[in-house]
Amino acid sequence: MVLGVFRLNGFFLHAADGLTAGSGLTTARWQVLRAVFHEPLTVAGAARNMGLTRQTVQRVADALVAEGLCRYLPNPAHRRAKLLAPTERGLRAIQHLVPRVTAWSEHVLDAVGAKTIRSANDSLQGLLPALLDCQEELLHDARTG
């Protein structure tokens, strides 16, 4: 199962590289920008939602801010952990990808079928919370063998 998930992740990353080609966004920048598209989040919050480390997302977030695609906002809940939010330019960059992503998604749906997509999504929606519930134990076991 794990190797299958790795291969699927590789497939989606390769597809995302194609979808973002010529857009001015990399796959990583698209992912982080998309993570804060609907609401500003701390970098740590975005990283948690994406299943990545804070440091990885921090590097991408800083690049997005430097390029004017995102900005840091004060966080009323935490003095040091600022909120990451898209700028108008960042919102336009994401919206520019929508037609391409929609067409590709429809092609995937036609190729694979709605039932298979639903089944895979349902499986992931059940598997992920179950694994996260015992994450520390499983990661410890993976490190110690």
31 phi, psi to nearest 5 deg: -60, -45
Q: Whole-angstrom Cα distance, residue 11 to residue 8?
A: 5
Q: Residues 52-94: pLDDT tens digits?
A: 999 999 999 999 999 999 999 999 998 889 999 999 999 999 9
Average pLDDT (40-53) is 96
The torsion angle over the Cα atoms of residues 110, 111, 117 and 118, rounded to 10 degrees, is 40
Least confident of 25-29, 73-77, 121-125, 130-134: 130-134
CATH number at residue 104: 1.10.10.10
Domain extent at residue 19: 15-112
Q: Which of 12-21, 61-70, 92-101, 124-133 has the lowest mean pLDDT?
A: 124-133
- pTM for this model (two decimals): 0.85
Does residue 136 belong to any structural domain of this protein? no
Number of domains in the chain: 1
140 found inside a domain: no
Per the listing, tokens 């701390």 go with 42
